[in-house]
Amino acid sequence: TRTLLGASGADTNFVERLSPSEDTRRTVRETFALLLSGPLLLDWDDLVANLPTEFQGEGGRWLRARYRPVYDLSGKTIERVMVSLQDVSHEKALQADIARNRDEQTMVVRILQNRETFDLFCEDALKLLREGCQRVAGMELIRRSVVDEVFRTMHTIKGTAGLFGLGAVAAKAHAVEERLRGLNQRRDQSWSAGERQARGEGFSAVHDLLLEGRAAFHTLIGEDETEPGFSVS
């Protein structure tokens, strides 16, 4: 248990190791309470379905859990629950590699099928992201016309990046888009330099992820191309 879960004292609660989510831990505690409270009112399998089957231990290892009932002498009441743990970190790493390779293959195929369009998209998107960053960072009052324009830019980049298999770019663009959405409710109001900085950094992050995606594509097909990024100051 020390190897799989890390050091533990006499008062360590196994449930607290199963998930960082308090809602999940609460569900687990309530499930164990039902399992150990006397004759089961629900089927064992239905109750155990509420328990995590995979989780990450404190040392970063991925663990797979199986639960087995230990009955008392009457054979009717569960006295204990035996938990068997299996280290599946290597399996999870292989699954991540397979998923990453699959995503890379999808990206390469989609870009090669529309190479000219992809090159134009990158050129235009990188320019629009730099301009959008500057416009947002310099907007002391929240102007709807500016917000609408940069929102449309981010929405288009999100959709087009997704079509080319650039999932990280699309996901970050969506996050930035959601943060921009709320600004229209504050139009013509002032906002802090810190808020402007944070929104501008979102544009910078999408810009850099797009550069990384393009560079990964060139690497995968044996080309070499780099372009400097930019930062918000």
DSSP string for residues in 65-93 = EEEEEEE-TTSSSEEEEEEEEEE-HHHHH
Task: Give residues with Cβ within 8 angstroms of 195, minimum separation 6.
Answer: none
User: What does the pLDDT read at residue 127?
Assistant: 94
d(CA 214, CA 221): 11
d(CA 19, CA 32): 15
- Please determine, for residue 204, whether its predicted confidence score (pLDDT) is greater than 60: yes
Beta strands in the chain (DSSP E): 54-56, 62-71, 78-87
Q: How far apart are the first and last CA of the chain?
A: 48
Residue with the bigger pLDDT between 197 and 229: it is: 197
Q: What are the φ/ψ torsions at residue 134 (nearest 5 degrees)?
A: -65, -40
| Mean pLDDT computed over 190-195 | 76
Residue with the bigger pLDDT between 163 and 187: it is: 163
Whose CA is closest to 150, among 169, 134, 162, 166? Answer: 134
User: What does the pLDDT read at residue 95?
Assistant: 87
- Please determine, for residue 174, whether its predicted confidence score (pLDDT) is greater than 90: yes
Task: Tell me the CA distances in angstroms from 223 to 106, 166, 186, 220, one per residue in order.
Answer: 18, 18, 46, 8
Q: What type of residue is 35?
A: L
User: What does the pLDDT read at residue 4?
Assistant: 77
Residue with the bigger pLDDT between 149 and 192: it is: 149
User: What does the pLDDT read at residue 233?
Assistant: 46
User: What does the pLDDT read at residue 226?
Assistant: 53
Q: Crossing angle, helix 115-137 and helix 193-220, to 10 degrees?
A: 160
d(CA 228, CA 192): 29
Share of residues in the chain with pLDDT > 70 (%)? 91
Q: What is the pLDDT of residues 38-83, one digit of tens each?
A: 888 788 999 999 898 988 876 778 889 999 999 988 888 899 999 8
